[in-house]
Structure 1
Amino acid sequence: MESYLAKNDGEYHVILKELSQVIVASMRTIVPSYDALFHIVPPMGAEMEQMGCVCAVPE
């Protein structure tokens, strides 16, 4: 991060924030196209709900 900020040359305004510790659930897949995303994500969400995953703040 420090290396990136050093090369930044003031082009971006970067804000670093600390977040509280959270447990993250993730799933991986290959999305062949942007349109396919809308067919892939809903079943993934449903499967995570079935497994007891909940969205915490920040969502």
Structure 2
Amino acid sequence: MQKCALNQMQAITVAFIGSYITQNGHSPTITEMAKDANVDGNTISTPLNALLKKGAITKVPSIAHSI
């Protein structure tokens, strides 16, 4: 799958995920990402799904810390 260009918010989200993994040794949960973005978990799901579709991130369904 060819990766598409990311918009500014998507790039910030990917950078946050990378930074979190570097600092903690695992990816953040949706709850942790929502807390950092000051939004609820449902709100953060939309940009995450867009990143998944673009191939910018991968995730194992039903497993925490799997981004």
Normalization by structure 1: what TM-score?
0.31
Q: TM-score, normalised by structure 2?
A: 0.29
* Larger RCO, structures 1/2 (Cα 8 Å, 6+ apart): 2
